[in-house]
Amino acid sequence: MKTKINFLIALTAFFIISGCASKQVAFFPTSEVTYQNYSGDILTLRVLGYGGNENTAIEDAQMRAMETLFFRGIPNSNISNPLIGFNENELKRTHNNYFKDFFGYKRYLTFISETMLIGGQKQKVIATKVDKKSAKQDMVDALVVAVDVLVNVKNLRKDLEDQNIVRKFGF
């Protein structure tokens, strides 16, 4: 009997701990992307990424670079207009499969030729804490990294054209 009680206590504790662990932090979407260089096929961007550790922060920076390139454009560069368009939500809905593959299955990595970590700093930033029951904004501890992301724009545009996400050159 005692063994059964111990087992139940252990099981309850496990669920409580795993419940706490499932609480996720969603950092605000930002376009902290600065143009560095665009020569030949490669566009170099300096991006700020947020995460719990270095790997997640770098990944976040890479995704932010791509999102900004797709839906905002890079200011002060020759790609100041977005590569796909401004209407982000509608475009993502229309080309759901492409973006699921691109961001969800990390296909964007195949268009990044290099990622260089410039530096990182632990900071308290405002973010949304999401759990099963609620989502609330709060200050959280995060690692903020500055990363240089080198994007192979020529092939990326070709891919977007081939997948009919953007129109090819011409009518």
Binding residues (CB under 8 A) for another protein: these are: 38-40, 77-79, 81, 154, 161, 167-171
**Least gap, CB of 149 to another protein (angstroms):** 17
For residue 90, count CB atoms less than 10 angstroms from its CB and return exposed for 0-12, middle for 13-18, buried for 19 or more. Answer: exposed
Nearer to another protein, 82 or 120 (CB): 82
Give the shortest CB-125-to-another protein separation in angstroms: 33
Judged by beta carbon, residue 27 or residue 111, the one nearer another protein is 111
| Residue placing its CB nearer to another protein in the complex, 131 or 161 | 161
C-beta of residue 127 within 8 angstroms of C-beta of residue 137: yes
Alpha helices for the chain (secondary structure H):
2-21, 54-71, 88-94, 96-99, 153-162
Pick 105 or 169: Cβ nearer another protein: 169
Minimum distance of another protein from residue 163's CB (angstroms): 15
Q: How far is the CB of 164 from another protein (least distance, A)?
A: 13
Closest C-alpha to 47, from 139, 148, 136: 148
Our CB check for another protein shows the closer of 2 and 167 to be: 167
User: How would you classify the pairing of strands 24-27 and 42-51?
Assistant: unpaired
Dihedral (Cα; 154, 155, 157, 160), 10-degree rounding: 180
Where do the H-state alpha helices sit in 30-168?
54-71, 88-94, 96-99, 153-162
CB of 170 to another protein, least distance (A): 5
Look at residue 18 and give its three-state secondary structure.
helix
Q: What share of the chain is helix, strand, coil (3-state, %, to 5)?
A: 40, 35, 25
